[in-house]
Amino acid sequence: MKKVQSTCNYCSLACNIDYIVEENKIVKVIPTKGYPVNNGFSCIKGLNLDKQHSVYKANPLPRIKKEDGTFEHVSWNEAFTYTANKLKEIHEQYGPESIAGISTGQLTLEEMALYGHVMRNFLKANVDGNTRLCMATSVVAHKQSFGFDAPPYTLNDLELSDTIILIGANPVVAHPILWGRIKANKIEGKKVIVIDPRYTETAKRADHFYRLKAKSDLTLLYTLAHVLIEKNWIDAAYIENHTEKFEEFKTFVKEFTLDKVEEKTNLTAEQVLELATMIHEGKAVSLWWTMGINQGYEAVRNAQAIINIALMTGNMGRPGTGANSITGQSNAMGSRLFSNTAGLYGGGDYDNPVRRQAVAEALGIDESWLPSKPTLPYNAIIEKINAGEIKALWVLCTNPRHSWINNETFKEAMDKLDLFIVQDIYDDTDSSEDCSVFFPVVPGTKKEGTLINTERRLSAVRPALLMEENEMTDFNVILNVGKALGMGDLLDGWKTPQEVFEKMKKCSKGMPCDITGVDYNALVDSKGIQWPFKEGDTLTENERRLFEDGQFYTPSKKAQFMFEAVTENPLQLTEEFPYVFNTGRGTVGQWHTQTRTREIAFVNDAVSHVAYVHINEELAKDLGIKHQEMIEITSINGVTRRFMAMVSDTVAYNELFAPIHYIETNALTPSVYDPYSKEPSYKSTPVQINKVKGA
Ligand X SMILES: Nc1nc2c(c(=O)[nH]1)N[C@H]1C(S)=C(S)[C@@H](COP(=O)(O)OP(=O)(O)OC[C@H]3O[C@@H](n4cnc5c(=O)[nH]c(N)nc54)[C@H](O)[C@@H]3O)O[C@H]1N2
Note the residues at the interface with Mo ion (CB under 5 A): 134, 328
Sign of the torsion formed by the C-alpha atoms of 463, 467, 472 and 478: positive
Which residue sits closest to ligand SF4, CB atoms considered?
A: 46
How far is the CA of 514 from the CAs of 217, 262, 336, 362, in angstroms?
Answer: 34, 46, 14, 13
Residue among 218, 247, 215, 217 at smallest CA distance from 234: 247
Identify which range of 462-470, 556-564, 593-601, 629-637 contacts ligand X by CB under 6 A.
593-601
In this structure, are residues 201 and 587 in contact, taking their beta carbons and an 8 Å threshold? no
Among 159, 217, 514, 599, binds ligand X (CB under 6 A): 217
Question: Segment 266-295, which members bind ligand SF4 (CB under 6 A)?
Answer: none
CA torsion, ordered 157, 160, 162, 165, to nearest 10 deg: 10
Per the rule left: phi > 0, alpha: psi between -120 and 50, beta: everything else, 359 is alpha
Cβ count within 10 A of residue 627:
12
In this structure, are residues 685 and 295 in contact, taking their beta carbons and an 8 Å threshold? no
What is the SS3 assignment for 436-502? Answer: CEEEECCCHHHCCEEEECCCCEEEEECCCCCCCCCCCCHHHHHHHHHHHCCCHHHHCCCCCHHHHHH
Q: Which is nearer to ligand X, 126 or 295 (CB)?
A: 295
Residue 227 in contact with ligand X, rule: CB under 6 A: no
Residue 596 in contact with ligand X, rule: CB under 6 A: yes
Among 109, 140, 173, 224, binds ligand X (CB under 6 A): 173
CA torsion, ordered 223, 228, 232, 238, to nearest 10 deg: -120
Residue 682 binding: pick among ligand SF4, ligand X, Mo ion, none (C-beta 5-8 Å cut-off by kind) = ligand X
Smallest distance from ligand X to CB 348, Å: 25
Smallest distance from ligand SF4 to CB 687, Å: 30
Q: Which is nearer to ligand X, 356 or 402 (CB)?
A: 402
Residue 5 binding: pick among Mo ion, ligand X, ligand SF4, none (C-beta 5-8 Å cut-off by kind) = none
In this structure, are residues 407 and 666 in contact, taking their beta carbons and an 8 Å threshold? yes
Residue 426 in contact with ligand X, rule: CB under 6 A: yes
Distance (Å, whole) CA 479 – CA 196: 44
Q: Which is nearer to Mo ion, 31 or 328 (CB)?
A: 328
3-state secondary structure of 378: helix
Enter the DSSP assignment of 82: H
Residue 14 in contact with ligand SF4, rule: CB under 6 A: yes
Phi, psi (rounded to 5 degrees) for 550: 70, 15
Residue 43 in contact with ligand SF4, rule: CB under 6 A: yes
Q: Which is nearer to Mo ion, 328 or 440 (CB)?
A: 328
Residue 309 binding: pick among Mo ion, ligand X, ligand SF4, none (C-beta 5-8 Å cut-off by kind) = none
Residue 177 in contact with ligand SF4, rule: CB under 6 A: yes
Identify which range of 236-244, 352-360, 437-445, 602-610 contacts ligand X by CB under 6 A.
437-445
Identify which range of 143-151, 392-400, 519-527, 571-579 contacts ligand X by CB under 6 A.
392-400
Amino acid at 630: M
Smallest distance from ligand SF4 to CB 14, Å: 5
E strands, 372-448, are 392-396, 419-424, 437-440
Residue 100 in contact with ligand SF4, rule: CB under 6 A: no
Identify which range of 13-21, 214-222, 401-409, 530-538 contacts ligand SF4 by CB under 6 A.
13-21
Residue 102 pairs in a beta bridge with 128, 395
- List of residues contacting ligand X (CB under 6 A): 11, 104, 106, 130, 133-134, 167-170, 173-175, 195-198, 200, 214-215, 217, 290-292, 295, 328-329, 396-400, 402-403, 423-426, 429, 441, 443-444, 474, 582-585, 588, 590-593, 595-596, 660, 665-666, 669, 682-683
